[in-house]
Amino acid sequence: MNIVILEEFHQNIKILNKTIWLMKKEILNCEKARSICIVLTLAKLGHFPKRKSEKEAWFLSPFRSETQASLKVSLKENYWIDFGSFEGGNVIDLVVKLKHCSVKDALIFLSGGIPNFSFHQQTILKQRTGKIEILKILTIQHLFLINFLKSRKILVSFAQNYCKEVWYNHNGKTFFAIGLENHLGGWELRNKYFKSSTSPKTFSLIPQGSDHLIVTEGMFDLLSLESLLNESLEGYDLMILNSLAFTRNISSYLKSYKTIKLYLDYDDSGSKATEYLLKIHSQAIDCRAVYKGYKDANEKLIS
């Protein structure tokens, strides 16, 4: 491993140890524990990245022997996915799997260890912690959200078909965002300054009575397609993964479709997920050529 990365982690561990000594010893609840930095948790367990960028860090999977890094950690979303098994989740899921323990034991382990320092800046993670309480759900109408959609080149009328204006309470304050509901009743929330989700987090499925399916990685990928393809999506059922960690979870839902059009990201993670779905479903089609040269559909649309 690069000596600079190793020295950086040693410095981080020193900071952590000092902070741990100052911390009040109490067991974290699940909501607080999810904000703990996965990269530093892995470092404490003796696993260091083989490579990193601004957005992600790649590790040799700690679950098997390998020579090519296949476990990715999203630094912005604090989420991991193992492309060898297409399992993933938050830091609690990681500790449970690594230590073969219960959620309670994982929380005890995390309580004695790692505060929520950012991997890059050694500051508190930008993503807010604390439970989000949904207050009301409306048709998208707030000018701030409409302007946000326009800045992403999204047709407001199209967004109104599939998303909502969600008002929520967070740490005693009221906010609003564009919301996409998942199939278990959780919400993906996006505005100009905030990107988060409520529990339970999983994929979204929008049935429209079709035997043809479109699969995208995120909500803005979906909202970009109608303009990008210059065709209505009403003839398709729609599935939004909300995270590549749910790639394996959708397999049983795909069997009944005649065609499955895949519009995942044009990066290493998106390519691996696409290859996996093409392999296990003969009716799947890689449709990313429409935004070749760009990371995703929305980046192409904005350009």
Chain-centroid distance, C-alpha 245: 7
Domain parsing of the chain, residue ranges = 24-111, 126-152+164-198, 203-302
In the numeric block, the tokens 């022997």 are attached to 65
Q: Name the helix (H) or strand (E) containing 143.
A: helix 143-151
pTM: 0.66
Going by the DSSP 8-state scheme, the letter that residue 86 receives in this structure is T
Phi-psi region of 100 (alpha: psi -120 to 50; beta: other; left: phi over 0): left
Q: Do 24-111 and 203-302 come out as alike in CATH topology?
A: no
Residue 210, CA distances (Å) to 61, 234, 238 in order: 38, 9, 9
Chain-centroid distance, C-alpha 111: 24
Task: Round the CA-based radius of gyration of the chain to a whole number and report it.
Answer: 20
Fold for the domain defined by 24-111: DNA Primase; Chain A (3.90.580)
Fold for the domain defined by 203-302: Dna Topoisomerase Vi A Subunit; Chain: A, domain 2 (3.40.1360)
pLDDT tens across the length of the chain (303 residues): 555 455 555 555 555 554 444 444 456 778 788 888 999 889 888 888 999 998 899 999 888 877 888 999 999 889 899 888 888 889 999 998 888 888 888 888 887 644 343 333 332 233 444 678 999 999 999 999 999 999 999 999 999 999 999 999 887 888 899 999 999 999 999 988 878 889 889 999 999 999 999 999 999 999 999 889 988 899 999 999 999 999 988 988 998 899 999 999 998 899 999 999 999 999 999 999 999 999 999 999 998
Mention every residue, 6+ apart, whose C-beta is less than 8 A from residue 196: 127, 128, 132, 189
The one-letter amino acid at 247: T
The CA angle 46-201-84, to the nearest 5 degrees, is 45
